[in-house]
A and B are shown apart, each in its own frame.
Chain A
Amino acid sequence: MGEVRAGGGGCCPPMNLFRSESMQLVQLIIPMESAHVTVSYLGDLGLLQFKDLNADKSPFQRTYAAQIKKSGEMARRLRFFKDQMLKAGFSPKKSATQADINIDDLEVKLAELETELVEINANGGKLQRAYNELVEYKLVLQKASEFFHSALNSAAEQQSENASRQIGEESLDTPLLLEQEMSTDSSKQVKLGFITGLVPRQKSMAFERILFRATRGNVFLREAVVEDPVTDPISGEKVEKNVFVVFYSGERAKNKILKICEAFGANRYPFSEDLNKQDHMVTEVSGRLLELKTTIDIGLLQRDNLLQTIGDQFEQWEFLVRKEKSIYHTLNMLSLDVTKKCLVAEGWSPVFATKLIQDALQRASFDSNSQVGAIFQILQTKELPPTYFRTNKFTSPFQEIVDAYGVAKYQEANPTVYTIVTFPFLFAVMFGDWGHGICLLLATLYLIIREKKFSSQKLGDIMEMMFGGRYCILMMALFSIYTGLIYNEFFSVPFELFAPSAYACRDLSCRDSTTMGLIKVRDTYPFGVDPVWHGSRSELPFLNSLKMKMSILLGVAQMNLGIILSYCNAKFFRNGVNVWFQFIPQMIFLNSLFGYLSLLILVKWSTGSQADLYHVMIYMFLSPTDDLGENQLFPGQKTLQLALLLLALVAVPWMLIPKPFILKKQHQDRHRGHSYTPLESSEDNFQLGANHDSHDHEEFEFSEVFVHQLIHTIEFVLGSVSNTASYLRLWALSLAHSELSSVFYDKLLMLAWGYNNVIILIVGIIVFICATVGVLLVMETLSAFLHALRLHWVEFQNKFYEGDGYKFYPFSFAWTGDEDE
């Protein structure tokens, strides 16, 4: 059956992109020893999508689980290097030299490099920690010595004061008791212990409170703020800290304080009261700091050198590891032959790639010195092949627009062929202004000219999207310029480019030009809208009528194209039922209603009749037998209308009823016939026995088919009304665009011009440019783009496009590049 489809019904000669590539299911039998090379070559070729033949096995049960684990480990090492390089501020460079490196050597090398780097890092970390500790220690020494110094000074002062007081005899108002106590105190001199250290500033309040409570207030805490944040030796982060000194008495209090310090992450440092010792410590610490600093610098330099050498080859290694990993992943999808000497692969490939694949297989078996070559054979299958379109940089954005709605069924008519033109065209109908079109063209030409540069570098999300769709935007810009010329708008200003205006005043005095209007004196303006309409009082009524009718005409034309494509599909798949009971009644229904409306519009325009088309259309349904009166456009109109109405009414049951019955009959015939025909080739059946069975004994649910047809019919009948109405968005958006641009022109540029002041003019111009770029070129482009997208997805494609296929993802190394990003 795959073959039959590939051959296709000849409705039209083959056209690029119109049908997806014909595919085949191929089977490869690869000798074990050349499997790796073969898969690698096939990946270079990138035209074969492997099927997973071990879907029931878990990743650990598969043949090459160990190798995958190994390459996973290598990938982890590379990620580690990348992290380190990022931290150190290196970026991996693209190496021009492609040194040939074996994957096994690479593994050893990576492991060596990793241990080296880890060692350097560990040493560096240790040194850094020691350094930070010393820095903290130095701070404690400074702050605490300041504190002790001031405390000593004040104590000395007090003592001297006390002494002087005692000498100078008691005055009457000094309390006797206190003085005695103080003097006894100084004589007793209880030895107080103390602890110094650093505590994070955020926790210092809590720290103080807890200390106070734990020791029932028998503690004296002094804190000094360290101005600059300090690097914490343990966490390595910059933290704001306070230096503290706690005085306590007794061993129990000391233990409690030590525990609290630990809980608060307060680092303690020894400190001696002795001034000489203090000085000694400070100098020692400073000296060691210097020493450590130089050691750390040397370590850093060594690490940088190492990272530099890694960075030089990083890209290459990474590519190699990724390639290796994907090769083993693919190898895991192959099933092992019974003899365990061969691997069996199955996969989809385009028919045109047969020769290339065979070549690759041959080269692989030659290069791996295998005694037996790989076997290539084509399998017969009923499975639906994947969809593969060969697109280029011009057609791919349009194909993506279509794919975003749904991937085409295998060999279904591809709307992209028409979308390439109709999408930018409908966009331009809504975006018609050749000034704006030129702006868009310049922007996209910039992208296209610098294509080489942009494609090699990484762009932002939005920029990436713009760049990917640059040719789509180019087409949009070109058509915008064209429709802009038709609408005769250049930033909303009309020009008499092609001929003088067809209208002139009725007489020389031109008195009634503002009441009665002008009169047509020449031939119709040859190209586009007559410039005289711009700014006139009857501009809007005229443009509205024109654009509304244009929307309907374009819409009916595009929907007809959609239905014709459904005919191409039916012909291609040799589906006569769809031609007779879907395509023909649909054509009749749409055209007897909206085709007729289009005809009326054209007749009205070419005859200049005053007939009211709404009235004609409405009364065609309400009272088709009534006389048309003054709304008659041509003789015999009533008969034609009656005939069309009858045709439309007949078309509905025509669409609905026969098809399900015919399908049922076909199914029964096929079933009956099948049971009598002998098996064509036993080999075929043997190969895909399971597949065959499931397909042929498929139940035919009549009610389901009928309901499906009912839905389809209702959708089409209602859809033809609502879809035609939906095309009126072309009118609405183009009106909005031209009104907005004329408002910006009149109210910003002309108003500013009117002031005769240079500054106001410049401000006006700047605001005008901003408004034009921001609102018209960005917002309006987006909205027109979205509406054109909708018209294609819904109104055009629902006439013929199934879009339930799946994409062809060949195994290729070109894709592994941005796999994990």
Chain B
Amino acid sequence: MGFVLAQIDLAFDRREIDMGFLVTTLIFVVIGIIASLCTRICCNRGPSTNLFHLTLVITATVCCWMMWAIVYLAQMKPLIVPILSEGE
């Protein structure tokens, strides 16, 4: 997953950075941090369990972020536009 992150960074170095993308990514990061802090505070059961919980939270956050990022990027510079059907 880190690989994809790097790839996206690469893509941004070349073009102007979309603010919306950055802001929402930041929100994801913040949510991820809050969630990992919550698990740390709520169920603190030794270092190895904490690491396990942290891994879960990070994996979940990365998965959700990836999904959102893919959909967002796909709509950023659309090649096709919505064409309404005749009925409407």
Contact = CB atoms under 8 A, between A and B. Distances in A.
Contacts of A14: 47-48, 51
A529 interface: yes
B4 A18 contact: no
A682 interface: no
B4 A417 contact: no
Nearest to B16: A606
A518 B82 contact: yes
A334 to B, nearest CB: 34
Contacts of A533: 82
Nearest to B63: A425
A370 B72 CA distance: 74
Given A518-B84, A536-B82, A537-B83, A550 B55 contact: no
Contacts of A517: 80-84
A713 B78 CA distance: 40
Contacts of B73: 602, 605-606
Given A14-B48, A527-B24, A598 B7 contact: yes
Contacts of A634: 14
Contacts of B81: 503, 517-520, 538
Contacts of A513: 83-84
A536 B10 contact: no
A515 B85 CA distance: 9
B60 to A, nearest CB: 5
A599 B55 CA distance: 26
A72 to B, nearest CB: 44
Which of A18, A526, A598 has the largest number of chain B CB atoms within 10 A? A526
A557 B3 contact: yes
A502 B63 contact: no
Interface string B67-88: 1101111111111111111101
B30 interface: no
Contacts of B63: 421-422, 425, 479
A553 B3 CA distance: 11
A213 B22 CA distance: 104
A539 interface: yes
B59 interface: yes
Contacts, number: 166
B44 interface: no
Interface in B1-35: 1, 3-4, 7-8, 10-12, 14-15, 18, 20, 24
Given A16-B51, A425-B63, A557-B1, A536 B11 contact: no
A482 B64 contact: yes
A532 B82 contact: yes
Nearest to B76: A524
Given A14-B48, A417-B52, A607-B77, A549 B70 contact: yes
Contact of B15 (A542, A595, A607): A607
A536 B86 CA distance: 9
A550 B67 contact: yes
Contacts of A532: 82
Given A545-B74, A550-B67, A603-B14, 6 more contacts: A421-B60, A514-B85, A533-B82, A538-B81, A557-B3, A599-B10
Interface of B: 1, 3-4, 7-8, 10-12, 14-15, 18, 20, 24, 47-49, 51-52, 55-56, 59-60, 63-64, 66-68, 70-86, 88
23 contacts: A14-B47, A15-B52, A420-B59, A421-B56, A421-B60, A482-B64, A503-B81, A514-B86, A517-B81, A524-B20, A529-B75, A535-B85, A535-B88, A536-B82, A538-B82, A538-B83, A542-B80, A550-B70, A554-B67, A554-B70, A557-B4, A606-B14, A607-B14
Interface of A: 13-18, 417-418, 420-422, 425, 429, 479, 482-483, 486, 502-503, 513-520, 523-530, 532-533, 535-539, 541-542, 545-546, 549-550, 553-554, 556-557, 560-561, 591, 595, 598-599, 602-603, 605-608, 610, 634
